[in-house]
Amino acid sequence: MVQILSVFTILFAIGLYMILADLVKLPTRRATKAIATVDKREKKKSKNLDVFINEVSMKVGKFIKLTDYSKRKLTATLKSAGIKISPEAYIARAWVKAGMTLIFVVPALLIFPLLFPVITFLAIAIYFKEIRSAEEALKEKREDIEYELPRFVATLTQEFKASRNVVSIFETYKVNAGPSFKNELEITVADMKSGSYESAITRFEARIGSSSLSDITRGLIGVLRGDDGVVYFQMLTHDLKQMEIQRLKTLAMKRPGKIRKYSFAMLFCFMLMYLSVMFIEIISTLGSMF
């Protein structure tokens, strides 16, 4: 009986999806996948499940309403994180992935009811993970850029002693910059060539949202306005070096905690080895006694 109900639930869900897809006139999976793979900037191969989730998210996103402030904030976060979807579709994608997980509640209740709380907790965890994915991606990008800022400031300090051409300094430095910082420098250079230098640097700061980068952009704007800037960047180099040393100390302090679990695993293996030898010797001794 349980098997019959499971098969009925699966077939009913497939039939309902096909009817709804025909009513809302969703494009076929092959057509959507072909459009998604046309963009050569996407290096990863499109997956059928991702294509389906994006389709449903775009449809569900039309029913999501956001305030102007929330929409502007989320749009800026998605743009900085490199996620090319609308804010409504982004929120809808989190709901869709959580909802797809909750679908398994129905067969779980029929086959093994104890899985109900596990699946519910998993769906909630997936929702919060997806809703924070843009912020996590932006945080990772910010950390990658902040790791390069001490070397970048040191370069600016040396370059400003001989030249005040900020665009040329950016173009020279981006050749050896990391992927995240290089991309931001390319955007900033293009923005500076097409408009105001100060506005481009201000937008560069706003995209990243780093306090260390704010100090750098403040000094760059001062240089563009005619300040000397060398002494300022020398002091900033010292401060960033101290911050880098403190960050490295923090990472070093975290290493023992990560290694401790492997130490316990090795200790358990050694204890298990000795206990196994003792157990075998005891069994063999008892066998000779009796």
pLDDT of 200 strictly over 50: yes
- Look at 198 and 267; give whichever has higher pLDDT: 198
Is there a contact between 188 and 201 (Cβ–Cβ < 8 Å)?
yes
Q: From CA 159, how far away is CA 178, in angstroms rounded?
A: 19
Domain residue spans in the chain?
1-24+47-141, 142-243
Is there a contact between 6 and 110 (Cβ–Cβ < 8 Å)?
yes
Of 241, 238, 228, 236, residue with least CA distance to 160:
228
What string of DSSP letters covers 112-139?
Answer: -GGGHHHHHHHHHHHHHHHHTHHHHHHH
Residues 6+ apart with CB under 8 A from 212: 146, 149, 240, 243
CA 32 vs CA 19, 28, 41, 54: distances in Å: 18, 6, 17, 9
DSSP 66: -
What string of DSSP letters covers 7-18?
Answer: HHHHHHHHHHHH
pLDDT at 45: 45
Is there a contact between 9 and 106 (Cβ–Cβ < 8 Å)?
yes
pTM of the model as a whole: 0.59
pLDDT digits (tens, 9 = 90+) for 143-189: 888 888 888 888 888 888 888 888 888 888 888 888 888 888 888 88
Averaged pLDDT, 92-113: 81
Q: From CA 33, how far away is CA 52, in angstroms rounded?
A: 9
Q: From CA 77, how far away is CA 89, in angstroms rounded?
A: 14
Question: If pLDDT is split at 50, 70 and 90, which confidence band does 246 have?
Answer: confident
Q: From CA 250, how far away is CA 261, in angstroms rounded?
A: 19
